[in-house]
Amino acid sequence: MVKVNATCIGCGACVVVCPASFEMGSDGKAHAKESSDCAEAAKNVCPVNAIEL
Ligand code: SF4
């Protein structure tokens, strides 16, 4: 399961690294979609550790 927690600052990096699992919401923050092979790479690139796998 993929989750973005409330610390997300909306930088967009996770969406660039892994669009299969993340998308930007109308609130300007990332939202999780479904698990995928690139989700861990997105977790590693997040500057505020907002991604939980
Ligand atoms: S990389 Fe982290 S801070 Fe940036 S949009 Fe994704 S979840 Fe938010």
The C-alpha atoms of residue 28 and residue 11 are separated, in whole angstroms, by 9
Ligand 1: list residues with CB < 6 Å: 4, 8-14, 29-30, 46-48, 50-51
Task: Tell me which CATH code domain 3-52 carries.
Answer: 3.30.70.20
How far, in Å, from the CA of 1 to the mean position of ligand 1? 16
How do the domains of the chain map onto residue ranges?
Answer: 3-52
The C-alpha atoms of residue 26 and residue 11 are separated, in whole angstroms, by 14
pLDDT digits (tens, 9 = 90+) for 2-46: 999 999 999 999 999 999 999 999 999 999 999 999 999 999 999
4 CA closest ligand 1 atom index = 7
- Residue 1 tokens, joined: 């399961």
pLDDT at residue 40 in the model: 98
pLDDT at residue 34 in the model: 97
Alpha-helix runs per DSSP H in 1-53: 13-17, 39-45
